């Protein structure tokens, strides 16, 4: 459908250091937005109330869409158990599946998310390698020796999401060896001498975010890519040649999170002897990110290139929050970027490329500004980890409200959304549940739900 242009709201969201923490910060945020309504509001608490009947409709619609994406079974040549899928293509995708777990955890009887995660363990190589994408025949889509084949390593995070509802220790014990092998593989292959990790832009999941320095030209120092399926996907741009030359904050923070999640799992299943090594790795990675990637001048984290900070902002820097590696004295300055309406907190928060960055698109252009469920949820969970509950609630409620606006008009959920208007991203697929299902289900359960009941809530 065509993009619906909507007049940009008049923001006033600049927060002082004091305002960023606690109730004062939430009040300043609330004063900064004047949203129109889509129906009778339940209250005037913050102006982002969604009518109960629309909440119920969105929940039921998301669950039905997700159920319609279940595939696999005895007749499937590669995937012998039914599993819930992103249904983006015939292939299966790792980080999509991990974020589907954030809402499928509430409906594990109807959405076979455990089987979806098991698909990746079943295809794991003996050295621990798990490709980020497998074909319908169960074959890796990307070459093992190139970082394009690695997605954000969130399997342990996904397993803890499932456990939060199932309390299934038997499953945690069963998958733990596969998680450890994958963790060890990533450390062995993508960690460099400075303690940081490198990756590939496409492999990072944020397909078209520019990761290399402005005006960079290929120097031949990256790991070269040999496409396994060139007839299906031609990944031969400048982006594919930037990998080993740099260090990425997002995958480095994700690996710290991986270690932190393994600590939680090891404690739950009685593997206390494994915990000290994970703690050592976590602290070393935390120190490396804070020593090398933090800009004191800008109050922000940056990727590195040739040992120098690459002054390009993107949403990936906020993985430092959910990983728990931001020193508390740096938190206000980092959150000032997050809440700045001239950067990430646009009318439809959060832009993945901020508005003051080269390449930002108000229509989205995929990761050049579009609002995506996985990154928004990542930030929300990171805010909660740091006790920023008012800000987490505000972001969750505004994001949910914005998605509701678009659903109310289009009657579906989209792969991503435009940052500067209440509309889908200009490059996005409909019926995407898929990770966008976490908005009407996970965010509903965790931030929106009151004492009313829904048919399956």
What is the reported pLDDT for 199? 96
Residue 434, in any domain of the structure: yes
How far lies 453's CA from each of 43, 55, 444, in Å?
18, 11, 12
Q: Give CA–CA dist 448/457, Å, rounded.
A: 12
| 427 lies in some domain | yes
Which residues of the chain fall below pLDDT 70?
1-45, 450-457
Nearest to 33 by CA among 52, 19, 44, 47: 47
Global confidence as pTM: 0.90
Q: How many CA atoms lie within 13 A of 417 on its CB side?
A: 34
* Parallel, antiparallel or unpaired: strands 300-301 and 294-295: antiparallel
Domain assignment of residue 12, yes or no: yes
pLDDT at 205: 95
The structural domain count of the chain equals 1
Query: Is 354 inside any structural domain?
Result: yes
Q: Percent of the chain beyond pLDDT 90?
A: 84
How many H helices and E strands in the chain? 12, 7
271-310 pLDDT per residue, tens: 999 999 999 999 999 999 999 999 999 999 999 999 999 9
Q: What is the pLDDT of residue 45?
A: 61
* 420 domain residue, yes or no: yes
- Does residue 276 form part of some domain? no
Domain membership of residue 141 (yes or no) is no
Residue 320 within any structural domain of the chain: no
Taking the C-alpha atoms of residue 427 and residue 364, their distance in angstroms, rounded to an integer, is 7
For residue 111, give every residue at least 6 positions away whose Cβ sits within 8 Å of its Cβ, in sequence order, or none: 63, 66, 67, 70, 84, 100, 104
* Domain with 441 in it: 1-47+340-364+386-457
Q: What is the mean pLDDT of the chain?
A: 90
């Amino acid at each position: 459908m065509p993009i619906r242009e909507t007049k940009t709201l008049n923001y006033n969201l600049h927060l002082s250091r004091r305002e960023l923490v606690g109730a004062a910060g939430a009040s300043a945020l609330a004063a900064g937005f004047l949203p129109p309504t889509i129906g009778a509001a339940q209250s005037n608490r913050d102006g982002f109330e969604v009518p109960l009947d629309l909440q119920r409709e969105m929940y039921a619609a998301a669950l039905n869409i997700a159920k319609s994406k279940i595939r696999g079974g005895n007749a499937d040549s590669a995937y012998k158990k039914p599993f819930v899928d992103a249904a983006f293509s015939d292939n299966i995708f790792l980080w999509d599946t991990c974020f589907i777990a954030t809402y499928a955890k509430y409906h594990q009887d109807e959405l076979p998310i455990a089987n979806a995660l098991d698909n990746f363990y079943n295809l794991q190589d003996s050295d621990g390698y798990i490709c980020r994408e497998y074909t319908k025949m169960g074959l890796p889509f990307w070459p093992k020796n190139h970082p394009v084949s690695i997605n954000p390593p969130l399997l342990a995070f996904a397993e803890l999401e499932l456990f939060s509802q199932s309390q299934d220790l038997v499953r945690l014990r069963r998958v733990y060896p596969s998680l450890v092998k994958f963790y060890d593989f990533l450390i062995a292959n993508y960690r460099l001498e400075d303690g940081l990790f490198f990756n590939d832009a496409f492999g990072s999941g944020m397909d078209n975010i520019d990761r290399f320095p402005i005006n960079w030209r290929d120097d031949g120092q990256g790991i070269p890519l040999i496409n396994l399926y060139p007839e299906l996907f031609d990944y031969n741009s400048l982006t594919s040649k930037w990998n080993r030359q740099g260090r990425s904050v997002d995958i480095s923070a994700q690996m710290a999170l991986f270690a932190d999640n393994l600590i939680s799992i090891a404690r739950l299943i009685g593997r206390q002897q494994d915990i000290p090594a994970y703690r050592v790795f976590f602290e070393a990675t935390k120190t490396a990110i804070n020593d090398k990637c933090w800009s004191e001048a800008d109050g922000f984290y940056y990727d590195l290139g040739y040992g120098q900070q690459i002054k390009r902002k993107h949403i990936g820097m906020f993985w430092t929050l959910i990983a728990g590696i931001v020193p508390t004295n740096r938190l206000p300055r980092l959150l000032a970027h997050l809440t700045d309406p001239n950067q990430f907190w646009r009318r439809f928060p959060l832009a993945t490329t901020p508005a003051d960055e080269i390449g930002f698109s108000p229509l989205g252009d995929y990761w050049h500004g579009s609002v995506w469920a996985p990154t928004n949820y990542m930030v929300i969970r990171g805010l909660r980890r740091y006790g920023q509950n008012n800000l987490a609630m505000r972001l969750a409620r505004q994001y949910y409200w914005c998605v509701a606006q678009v659903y109310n008009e289009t009657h579906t959920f989209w792969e991503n959304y435009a940052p500067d208007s209440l509309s889908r991203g200009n490059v996005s697929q409909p019926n995407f549940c898929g990770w966008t299902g976490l908005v009407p289900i996970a965010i509903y359960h965790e931030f929106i739900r009151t004492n009313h009941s829904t048919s399956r809530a």
